[in-house]
Amino acid sequence: MPKPERGLGRGLDALFAASANSYEQETINEVPIAEIVPREEQPRKVFDQESLKELSDSIREHGVLQPLLVRVKNQEYEIIAGERRWRAAQQAGLETLPVLIKDINDEEAAEYSLIENIQRDDLTVLEEAQAYRKMIDRFGYTQEKLASRVGKSRAHIANTIRILRLPAEILDYIEQGMISAGHARALLGLSNEQEQLKAGRDIIAGKMTVRETEKTVKNKKAKSKKRAVKSVEISELENLLEKHLATRTKIITSGAGGKIEINYFNGDDLERLLELMGIKL
């Protein structure tokens, strides 16, 4: 494996430029494709096979127009940016690839890889959320710092990470592309896992669009708020009845009506309650 040559380095703009001409101040090496390996912690896990085949066909005809960004690790070239090109080049049968070799640490590698994928819109919302979570947990990034590094708002970072709170079943749907990012964000508004799962299954069954999911969540929130207010009123009424009847009572609402349950302990207690209600046996 050749010794990596150091370039001048011009920051992220040079790293993620649109063509190889932008690397004029960098040293580009042609290395055996067999010596190039993907990062184990690459944010992107899902590669569309049809899109990959199209890129492979293009590479077979025109070659690789933009070098991969790599670093030397364990006597191999670890991909920092360009795994999709590497996969397509393998399919095209190439034996070597142009690479730009950088001497960077684990944190920089994770950041460059994340930024490249976000700039190219290559990540699913779940992959993006997991990558943000890892940058925060492993490298101590704050949401503010991460937002400035990837060019997103802090609110976007926070809301994307919140998706990881959804039930595992819903996360599987997202990973499989069965539930969109819009659906996922709407589901976060539901108060419990059971409601989220039911809504998620309705989405899969084709019963709810993103707009309909948002409307469902809004309606459930309004009903929950109404129930909470009503619960306070009912609780006060139950207390008044219990004081008046000297026994436990329960008011059960159902729509506009409902029922009242009054406990009694024996026959004498029942007669006492009936007398209080003006009923004589």
DSSP string, the chain: -PPPPP-----HHHHT-SSGGGGTTS-EEEEEGGGEE--TT-S-----HHHHHHHHHHHHHH---SPEEEEEETTEEEEEE-HHHHHHHHHHT-SEEEEEE----HHHHHHHHHHHHHHTT-S-HHHHHHHHHHHHHHH---HHHHHHHHT--HHHHHHHHHGGGS-HHHHHHHHTTSS-HHHHHHHTTSSSHHHHHHHHHHHHTT---HHHHHHHHHHHHHHHHHHHHHHHHHHHHHHHHHHHHTS-EEEEEETTEEEEEE---SHHHHHHHHHHTT---
Residue 177 CB neighbours (<10 A): 11
In a domain, 145, yes or no: no
Distances 275 to 150, 185, 260, 268, 269 between C-alpha atoms, Å: 75, 57, 17, 11, 10
Radius of gyration of the chain (CA): 31
Whether residue 31 is predicted with pLDDT greater than 60 in this model: the reply is yes
149 is a domain residue: no
Q: What's the pLDDT at 42?
A: 72
Q: State the Cα–Cα distance between residues 156 and 160, nearest whole angstrom.
A: 6
Note the pLDDT tens digit of each residue in 185-217.
Answer: 899 888 789 889 989 998 988 878 888 888 888
pLDDT digit string (tens) for 110-156? 888 887 777 666 678 888 888 898 888 888 889 998 898 888 899 99
10 domain residue, yes or no: yes
Domain CATH number, residue 23? 3.90.1530.30
* Contact assessment for residue 100 and residue 66, using Cβ atoms and an 8 Å cutoff: no
Task: Say whether pLDDT at 14 is over 60.
Answer: no
* Structural domain total, the chain: 2
Identify whether 224 is part of a domain. Answer: no
End-to-end distance of the chain based on CA atoms, in angstroms?
103
* Pairing of β 76-81 and β 36-37: parallel
In a domain, 227, yes or no: no
Is pLDDT larger for residue 103 or for residue 10? 103
Residue 195: inside a domain: no
Decide if 51 is inside a domain: yes
Strand 96-101's sheet: what is its strand order? Answer: 28-32, 96-101, 68-73, 76-81, 36-37
What pLDDT shows up at residue 226? 64
The pLDDT assigned to 162 comes to 92
According to the model, what pLDDT value does residue 127 have? 84
Whether residue 35 has pLDDT greater than 90: yes
Domain end residue (candidates: 123, 157, 184) = 123
Dihedrals phi, psi of 68, to nearest 5 degrees = -80, 150
| Annotated catalytic residue, options 26, 83, 111, 116 | 83
Which pLDDT score is estimated for 1?
A: 53
Q: pLDDT band at 54, cuts 50/70/90? A: confident
Q: Whole-angstrom Cα distance, residue 248 to residue 207?
A: 44
Domain end among 106, 123, 140 = 123
The overall average pLDDT reported for the chain is 80
- Whether residue 3 is predicted with pLDDT greater than 50 in this model: the reply is no
Residues 30-42 have a mean pLDDT of 87
What CA dihedral angle connects 155, 214, 167 and 123, to 10 degrees?
-50
- pLDDT top residue among 137 and 24: 137
Is the per-residue pLDDT at 95 higher than 60?
Answer: yes
Vertex 258: Cα angle to 254 and 263 (nearest 5): 130
Residue 15 has pLDDT above 70, yes or no: no
Percent of the chain with pLDDT over 90: 14
Mark which of 108, 123, 138 sits at the end of a domain.
Answer: 123
Active site residue 83: yes
pLDDT band at 45 (very low <50, low <70, confident <90, very high): low
Domain that holds residue 270: 232-276
221 located within any domain? no
